[in-house]
Copies of this chain bind each other. A is one copy, B any other.
C-alpha cells in the first residue's frame, strides 16, 4: 500500500519520512523544543510509540531534523551568493561572495528562526550513552562552515603581526560573528529591534567581518 493512497492501513508505508516531515514542521513552527514525539505521531496519525520503530528516541529524531535544517541553511546561503553579481577583480569578487554568504546565513536565521535554532540545537544524550566518535562524525556535517571556508580560501590572505592565522580559525571567526548576530537578533537581547536598526546592525557586523578578515 502506497503512502499516497487514501485508505488507512495498519502499516503506514513511509512512517519514517512522514515523521521527519512532521518534526521539521514542528521545528519550523517553534524550534527544537517543540519537536515532540507524540505530536509528530499525532500529526501523522499514528500511535505515540510508533516512532520508536524508526528512531531510537526523541534525540535521534531531533538530530535528523537538525541535519535537514543545516542543509536548508547551506542552500539558502548558496542561493544568496549565486544571486550576487561577480566582479572583475577576483579579490573583490571573493569578498563579495563571502559577504553574500553571510547575508544569506543571517537572512535564513531571521526567516526561519525555528529551523535555524534546530540546526544548532545540541542534543544532549543521557550521560553515559552514545559513542563520542559516532557523534563527532555526524557533528561535523555542516556545509555552512564549508561554504564559508571556501569563500575565505578564495580570499586567500591570512597574515597577522604575530605570524600566520589558519584558515579554519579565520573561518570560525567569521562564523562566530554571523552565528552570534543571528542568535542575538532571534532570541537574544537584540530581538524586537525595529527592522531598520536591525539592518544597520547587520551591515555593521558584515563590515566588521570583511574589514576584520582583511586585516588577518
Q: How far is the CA of A132 from the CA of B215 in the complex (A)?
A: 42
Q: How far is the CA of A73 from the CA of B208 in the complex (A)?
A: 24
Q: How far is the CA of A174 from the CA of B212 in the complex (A)?
A: 11
Asked whether, in the complex, the Cβ of A169 is within 8 Å of the Cβ of B215, the reply is no
Is residue A192 contacting chain B, with contact meaning CB distance below 8 A?
A: yes
A188 — which chain B residues lie within 8 A by C-beta?
120, 122, 179
Q: How far is the CA of A211 from the CA of B177 in the complex (A)?
A: 14
Q: How far is the CA of A124 from the CA of B113 in the complex (A)?
A: 14
Contact partner, A192, options B136, B181, B182, Cβ 8 Å:
B136
A169, closest chain B residue (CB): B204
Main secondary structure on A side of the interface with B: helix
A145, closest chain B residue (CB): B189
A120 — which chain B residues lie within 8 A by C-beta?
183, 187-189
Task: Annotate A169-211 by CB proximity to B: 1 below 8 A, 0 otherwise.
Answer: 1101111111111111001111110000100110111011111
Contact partner, A175, options B136, B184, B209, Cβ 8 Å:
B184
Is residue A142 contacting chain B, with contact meaning CB distance below 8 A?
A: yes
CB distance from A63 to the nearest CB of B (A): 13
CB distance from A176 to the nearest CB of B (A): 4
Q: In chain A, residues 134-181, which have Cβ atoms closer than 8 Å to a Cβ of chain B?
A: 136, 139-140, 142, 145, 160, 165-166, 168-170, 172-181
Is residue A43 contacting chain B, with contact meaning CB distance below 8 A?
A: no
Asked whether, in the complex, the Cβ of B166 is within 8 Å of the Cβ of A200, the reply is yes
Report A's interface with B, CB cutoff 8 A.
33, 120, 122, 124, 132, 136, 139-140, 142, 145, 160, 165-166, 168-170, 172-184, 187-192, 197, 200-201, 203-205, 207-216
